[in-house]
């Protein structure tokens, strides 16, 4: 067991919650700064009464204030909050006081454009200090940020801007990846074309190769003109802090809404007591601000905990396979958060790049986002954990914003298992009819009661929020299949719905299918996920083309064109690895595509029960 860990004993922490859940959350909330106290810890309705839940009722708080002023008042103003590195060679560090000044300048800049509490601001920025400052600035003035991963294509971006009704879009004109300059501004320009409600586009000009267009203003110029003072707006614990879109089973992404109070309490609690962070820790998450991990454990968590973090823009294997390890050595990184896909990439490069650098500072490596295959976990434990660092898995999702299941650093890691439920998280594994499944058997993973750090609704679509809750299944339905062993460890095996997980990112089959249908040569399409040695899953599309079934060279050209089409519409993360042309798609008599059959065909497996197949 590691010495000095906050939570040496999972069982004791769990018991403290079980003994009195209200007192547990009350104490967790008291660790933060509140402008006014709450009168009641929670109010929870079951699925029958709208599945609503509110936390810290009547309490007034601000997420950004808790990241910045609270730590500066505790004497951490001169501590480095961010060490930024970009693969293009840029490097800069900011102390907590400097971050407060920068965030305040951006907040004043937003105000100068008339942005106020409750307005939606879409952020399409790469992982840069400016991206983080912009998110914090929105939270500071009570504006609701909706960060869209700067890599998502123009149609997908436009859909998110429209759904949120954003008054402003803030972007960078470029990002750097694998030695290339990637033009982001053109994507934004295509996305906002004709959207009259977007009043301004603020552009962080890193390349500045062309003059600014209509509605566009220079981010840095506006920010530099502002005062570095801007006190945080008082928000209610239940006021929305941000929207983050994620894929579901329809073509329309879901705008998951998180709030200031419960979110801050949960992220802070788990940053300290699960991620075990102390103020002298150097944290590094290799995620991006476009994902939930980048919200909770880049933009907010490390600054809620008052530690130092490394933020790096660029590919983890560029300019060479040792870059991650060289940065760990340079900044003496103590806790790292990455995804199994990254570990598989490190594994491919072999142990040599690791061995060239001093990674003795590393005490824990956390992995999340997709099933952590035992082979990768064992490789990481052997080569990355050889100086004593624990390698542990944790499971959560955009909707929950912080871990639901995890292996604690002081717990024995069980390869293939994510770990045990976090205190406050009550889970069940059930059959589709809601009956309990015995240990060792797979079933649907359900959370019996809400936690303060989970979503409050789906933006503009309360019915879709309600659809997560099932009285029959006994609570919030995660959409995942899981299995529990006799000792209470849980393995999350994969999705139970038509959502894929490619390199740790969720992609709805319906989104890719809709994108394919916008191509003039496509009549029908179906998308499935197949196992991939690096990305966990890859996307394979089956397409019925207009006219006769393409073959030979025609098929090859159309396949290439469709891959490019999806890439241009949704972005590179959604692009199929392969397109197969078929004369028709297998469907049930009610017209539902049987993706299971397509998948079995590709994998050369038995197709199983086909009694509902029409043809
Ligand atoms: P996202 O909302 O994009 O973060 O994706 C969440 C989904 O990723 C979950 O519903 C799971 O399907 C999967 N996932 C996340 N973490 C894990 C994990 N540790 N083990 C297995 N699956 C995971």
- Distance between CA atoms of 224 and 201, rounded to whole angstroms? 17
Of the residues 341, 480, 491, 529, which should be mutated to test ligand 1's pocket, given the most ligand atoms within 8 Å of the CB? 480
Query: Is 10-482 in CATH node 3.40.50.720?
Result: no
480 CB within 6 A, ligand 1: yes
Q: Is 407 in the pocket of ligand 1 (CB under 6 A)?
A: no
How far is ligand 1, taken at its centre, from the CA of residue 76, in Å?
34
Distance from Cα 192 to the centre of ligand 1, integer Å: 31
pLDDT at 4: 41
Q: How many CB atoms lie within 10 A of CB 3?
A: 6
Cα–Cα separations (whole angstroms), residue 85 to 129, 288, 308, 326, 330 = 10, 13, 14, 12, 11
Which is nearest to 160 in space by CA: 259, 242, 244?
A: 244
Residue nearest to atom 23 of ligand 1 (CA): 370
Q: Which structure tokens are listed for 17?
A: 């919650």
Ligand 1 neighbour 98 (Cβ under 6 A): no
Q: Is 341 in the pocket of ligand 1 (CB under 6 A)?
A: no
- Cα 291 to averaged position of ligand 1 atoms, centre (Å): 12
476, burial (CB in 10 Å: exposed 0-12, middle 13-18, buried 19+): buried
Atom of ligand 1 nearest to the CA of 293: 4
Test site for ligand 1: of 288, 370, 458, 537, most ligand atoms within 8 A of the Cβ:
370
Our answer on whether the CB atom of 185 is closer than 6 Å to any ligand 1 atom is no
Q: Is the CB of 60 under 6 A from ligand 1?
A: no
What is residue 251's predicted lDDT score, i.e. its pLDDT? 83
Distance from residue 610's CA to the centre of ligand 1 (Å) = 30
pLDDT for residue 2: 42
Distance 463 CA to ligand 1 centre (A): 23
592: left (phi over 0), alpha (psi -120 to 50) or beta: beta
Q: Is 313 left (phi over 0), alpha (psi -120 to 50) or beta?
A: beta
Q: Which atom of ligand 1 is nearest to the CA of 493?
A: 21
Ligand 1: nearest atom to the Cα of 494: 12
To which residue do tokens 């914003």 refer?
Answer: 401
Q: CATH class for domain 503-603?
A: alpha beta
pLDDT at 615: 64
- Write the residue with the smallest CA distance to atom 10 of ligand 1: 397
Residue 444 bridge partners (DSSP): 430, 481
Mutate to test the pocket of ligand 1, among 245, 254, 492 (most ligand atoms within 8 A of CB): 492
Q: Looking at ligand 1, which residue's alpha carbon is closest to its atom 13? A: 370
404 CA distance to ligand 1 centroid (A)? Answer: 10
In short, whether 63's Cβ falls inside 6 Å of ligand 1 is no
Q: Is 402 in the pocket of ligand 1 (CB under 6 A)?
A: no
Q: Which two tokens stand for residue 488?
A: 């209470």
Which ligand 1 atom is at minimum distance from the Cα of 505?
Answer: 3
371 CB less than 6 Å from ligand 1? yes
pLDDT single digits (tens) 258-288: 999 999 999 999 999 999 998 899 999 999 9
**Distance from the first to the final alpha carbon of the chain:** 59
Query: CA 258: distance to chain centroid?
Result: 13
Q: Which of 149, 258, 295, 369 to mutate to test the pocket of ligand 1 (most atoms within 8 A of CB)?
A: 369
Predicted model pTM: 0.94
For ligand 1, say whether the CB of 492 is within 6 Å of any of its atoms: yes
pLDDT at 35: 98
CA of 494 relative to ligand 1 center, distance in Å:
8
The ranges of the chain with pLDDT < 70 are: 1-8, 48-50, 609-615
CB neighbour class for 555 (10 Å; exposed up to 12, middle 13-18, buried from 19) = middle
Structural domain boundaries in the chain: 10-482, 503-603
Among protein residues, the one with the nearest Cα to ligand 1's atom 15 is: 369
Minimal-distance CA residue to ligand 1 atom 11: 370
**Binding site membership of 395 for ligand 1 (Cβ less than 6 Å):** yes
Q: How far is CA 158 from the centre of its chain?
A: 19
Question: Which residue puts its alpha carbon closest to atom 21 of ligand 1?
Answer: 371
* Whole-number pLDDT of residue 590: 78
Q: Decide: 536 in ligand 1 pocket, CB within 6 A.
A: no
3-state secondary structure 526-588: EEEEEEECCCEEEEEEEEEECCCCCCHHHHHHHHHHHHHHHHHHHCHHHCCCEEEECCCCCEE
* β-pairing verdict for 240-246 and 254-259: antiparallel
């Amino acid at each position: 067991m590691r010495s000095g860990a906050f939570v040496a004993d999972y069982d004791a922490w769990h018991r403290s919650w079980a003994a009195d859940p209200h007192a547990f959350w009350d104490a967790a909330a008291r660790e933060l700064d509140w402008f006014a106290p709450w009168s009641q810890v929670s109010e929870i309705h079951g699925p029958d009464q709208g599945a609503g839940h509110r936390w810290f009722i009547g309490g007034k708080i601000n997420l950004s204030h808790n990241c910045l002023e609270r730590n500066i008042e505790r004497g951490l103003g001169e501590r480095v909050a961010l060490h930024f590195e970009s693969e293009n060679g840029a490097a800069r560090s900011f102390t907590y006081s400097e971050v407060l000044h920068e965030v305040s300048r951006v907040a004043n800049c937003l105000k100068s454009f008339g942005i106020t509490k409750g307005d939606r601001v879409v952020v399409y920025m790469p992982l840069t200090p400016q991206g983080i400052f912009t998110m914090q600035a929105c939270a500071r003035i009570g504006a609701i940020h909706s960060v869209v991963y700067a890599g998502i294509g123009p149609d997908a971006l436009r859909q998110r801007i429209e759904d949120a009704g954003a008054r402003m879009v803030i972007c960078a004109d470029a990002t750097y990846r694998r030695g290339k300059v990637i033009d982001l501004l053109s994507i934004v320009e295509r996305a906002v074309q004709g959207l009259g409600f977007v009043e301004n586009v603020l552009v962080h000009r890193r390349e500045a190769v062309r003059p600014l267009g209509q509605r566009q203003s220079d981010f840095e110029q506006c920010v530099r003109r502002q005062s570095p003072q801007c006190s945080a707006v008082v928000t209610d614990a239940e006021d929305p802090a941000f929207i983050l879109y994620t894929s579901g089973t329809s073509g329309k992404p879901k705008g998951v809404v998180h709030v200031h109070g419960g979110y801050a309490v949960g992220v802070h609690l788990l940053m300290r007591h699960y991620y075990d962070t102390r103020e002298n820790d150097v944290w590094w998450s290799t995620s991006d601000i476009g994902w939930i991990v980048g919200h909770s454990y880049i933009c907010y968590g490390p600054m809620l905990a008052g530690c130092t973090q490394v933020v790096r823009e660029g590919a983890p294997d560029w300019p060479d396979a040792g870059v991650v390890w060289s940065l760990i050595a340079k900044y003496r990184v103590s806790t790292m958060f990455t995804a199994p896909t990254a570990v598989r990439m490190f594994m491919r490069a072999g142990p040599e790049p690791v061995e060239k650098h001093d990674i003795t500072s590393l005490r824990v490596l956390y992995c999340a986002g997709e099933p952590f295959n035992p082979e990768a976990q064992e490789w990481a434990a052997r080569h990355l954990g050889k100086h004593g660092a624990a390698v542990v898995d944790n499971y959560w999702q955009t909707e929950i914003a912080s871990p639901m299941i995890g292996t604690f650093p002081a717990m024995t890691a069980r390869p293939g298992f994510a770990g045990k439920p976090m205190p406050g998280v009550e889970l069940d594994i059930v059959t589709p009819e809601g009956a309990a499944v015995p240990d060792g058997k797979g079933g649907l993973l359900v959370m019996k009661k809400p936690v303060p750090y989970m979503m409050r609704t789906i933006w503009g679509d309360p019915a879709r929020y309600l659809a997560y809750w099932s009285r029959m299944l006994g609570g919030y339905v995660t959409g995942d299949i899981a299995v529990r062993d006799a000792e209470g460890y849980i393995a999350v095996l994969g999705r139970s719905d038509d959502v894929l997980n490619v390199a740790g990112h969720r992609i709805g089959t319906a989104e890719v299918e809709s994108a394919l249908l916008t191509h003039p040569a496509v009549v029908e399409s179906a998308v499935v996920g197949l196992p991939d040695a690096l990305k966990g899953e890859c996307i394979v599309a089956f397409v019925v083309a207009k006219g006769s079934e393409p073959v030979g060279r025609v098929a090859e050209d159309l396949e290439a064109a469709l891959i490019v089409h999806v890439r241009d519409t949704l972005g590179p993360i959604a692009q199929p690895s392969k397109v197969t042309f078929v004369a028709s798609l297998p469907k049930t008599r009610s017209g539902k595509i049987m993706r299971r059959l397509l998948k079995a065909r590709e994998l050369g497996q038995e197709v199983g029960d086909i009694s509902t197949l029409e043809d």
